[in-house]
Amino acid sequence: MPKVQFTGQLQRFMAVPMAEAEGATVRAVLDNVLRDNARLRGYVLDEQGALRKHMTVFVNGRMLTDRAGLSDAVAPGDEVYVLQALSGG
Amino acid sequence: MSDRLLVGTRKGLFDIRRSAGGWGIHKVSFLGDPVSAVARDPLSGAIYAALALGHFGVKLWMTADDGNTWLERPAPAFPPKPDGLEDPHPWTVHSVWTLETGGVPGRLWAGTISGGLFRSDDAGGSWNFVKSLWDRPERREWFGGGADHPGIHSLCVDPRFSDRVVLGVSCGGVWSTSDSGETWRLGGKGIYAEFMPPERRDDPRIQDVHRIVQCHAAPETLWCQHHNGVFKSDDRGMNWREITAIKPSKFGFAVAVHPTDPRSAWFVPAVKDECRVPVDGKLVVARTRDGGESFDVISSGLPEGPAYDLIYRHALTVDESGRRLAMGSTTGGVWLSEDGGDNWMALHARLPPIACLRFATETA
């Protein structure tokens, strides 16, 4: 089952332990992880389900390409990292 | 007079209070996070703060104990966008640009970038997307002014009839409802946009009204700092006349109106659209007491210059007495007046860039 790890910066707001979830795409994996956690979902995805502008996802070290659809493939045993992109100010 | 000022900045919410020793920072909340709007409900005492987190999106927090503890509430959010729908504007909230309490227990209005209006009737526990305004065909003509997308920045809830609300959009004109947002009327007759092609100059759908405020005791009177001038309405936003006596310039963002005298208002002019700094590098306040026939240009207590402070649209305010005013700048200066704007004093602190401020007991 894919493993999902969230940026440590989210610990400021809520507990975000590493999770495992079924799914063959980033969308499916995140939907499973976030299904019962609307608050965390709102920190990672916008209201249309797209990845927030300054967030990013890596699957086994490869950056996600489909930021709106999250259709990038995930295989069992993959590691999914949900991170903040760097921004200035 | 109000002894408490809430200041929303690029890096936190500052609770500034007046004590025997003068004005000073009492408490800081959300240090490091951008605060885009703040409101205090006079009916409950609750304070609401909207954040625009760079990574994690728009958030709304509420405190019922003057900021000792904050609770996160659901943030306003659009419903799912229908598949295949073409729309010039995103169905996502980029920031809450203004928050206003609604005059009845639990009611709260949120104006946002990218143009969505939201209403809560349970103290921010849930939000209703005001679809009636979003579905108006004129909304598709709106566009961003400064921001990437259009935004609702001014919400004037009639203190006599809470169902009556006037709102301002950059760039989308002046809109009013008499039924809490069920139906809308487009106002703004008399406002014009010099920067538009001639055939669109008077189009009320695209006017860049930078800020609209109402007189609490005479809410038929509205004042507007527009992109290319100052305007005043005496019929709650349907018809406007230009106030040409404003000086030293007619460009600016902020306006405040006296809570009981609709003829008295304050502005903080900047040079012009393409040069958004004080005229001659001197920060001044322009005040009228005669409905805009004449203006005093006030500099007492303000930086002699060079000073390049710009006052954003939500960063000039007056309390319920009409005597105490405050303003905050893009370079983190805060100035207070306790005599109706005749004299100003600087807060002994340099804050992050200031988006908004308001007294804890002001009237809107």
pLDDT (tens digit per residue) in A24-52: 999 999 999 999 999 999 999 999 999 99
For the record, the structure tokens of B138 come out as: 């004129």
A88 pLDDT tier (thresholds 50, 70, 90): low
* Nearest residue on chain A to B57, alpha-carbon basis: A43
Chain A residue with Cα closest to B52? A43
| Nearest residue to B101 (alpha-carbon basis) of B60, B45, B139, B53 | B45
Say how far apart CA B289 and CA B294 lie, in whole Å: 8
Average pLDDT over residues A76-82: 97
CA distance B107 to B340: 31
pLDDT score for A87: 63
Distance from CA of A79 to the nearest CA of B (A): 21
DSSP string, B310-330: ---TBSEEE-TTSS-EEEE-T
Q: Say if the Cβ atoms of B91 and A47 lie within 8 Å.
A: yes
CA angle A85, B111, B364 (to 5 degrees): 130
How many CB atoms are closer than 10 A to CB B38?
25
Tally Cβ neighbours within 10 Å of residue B179.
11
pLDDT of amino acid B158: 98
Nearest chain B alpha carbon to A49:
B80
Q: Answer whether B82 touches A (CB < 8 Å).
A: no
Q: What is the pLDDT of residue B273?
A: 85
Question: Which domains, and CATH codes, for chain A?
Answer: 3-84 (3.10.20.30)
Could you state, in order of their start, the residue ranges of all structural domains in chain B? 104-359
Q: Is B31 within 8 Å of chain A by CB?
A: no
Spell out, as residue ranges, where chain B has pLDDT lower than 70: 362-364
Percent of chain A topping pLDDT 90: 89
B-contacting residues in A 65-84 (Cβ below 8 Å):
84
CB contact under 8 A, A55 and B55: yes
CB contact A43 to B (< 8 Å): yes
pLDDT at B102: 96
Decide if B72 and A54 are in contact by the 8 Å CB cutoff: no
- The C-alpha of B267 sits at a distance from chain A's nearest C-alpha, in angstroms, of 29
- B104-359: CATH, from 2.130.10.10, 3.40.190.10, 2.20.25.90, 3.20.20.70: 2.130.10.10
Residue B68 class from Cβ within 10 Å (0-12 exposed, 13-18 middle, 19+ buried)? exposed
pLDDT tens profile A64-77: 999 999 999 999 99
Q: In the numeric block, which tokens belong to residue B351?
A: 């804050």
Over its C-alpha atoms, chain B yields an Rg (Å, rounded) of 19
Q: What is the pLDDT of residue A51?
A: 97
At B49-58, the pLDDT tens digits run 999 999 999 9
Residues 6 or more apart whose CB falls under 8 angstroms from that of B347 comprise B16, B23, B24, B333, B334, B335, B336
Question: In whole angstroms, how far apart are CA B3 and each of B77, B239, B244, B255, B303?
Answer: 34, 36, 34, 21, 23
Residues in chain B within 8 Å Cβ distance of A85: 55
Q: Does A47 touch chain B (CB under 8 A)?
A: yes
pLDDT value of position B195: 87
Task: Indicate the burial class of B170 (C-beta count within 10 angstroms; 0-12, 13-18, 19 or more).
Answer: buried
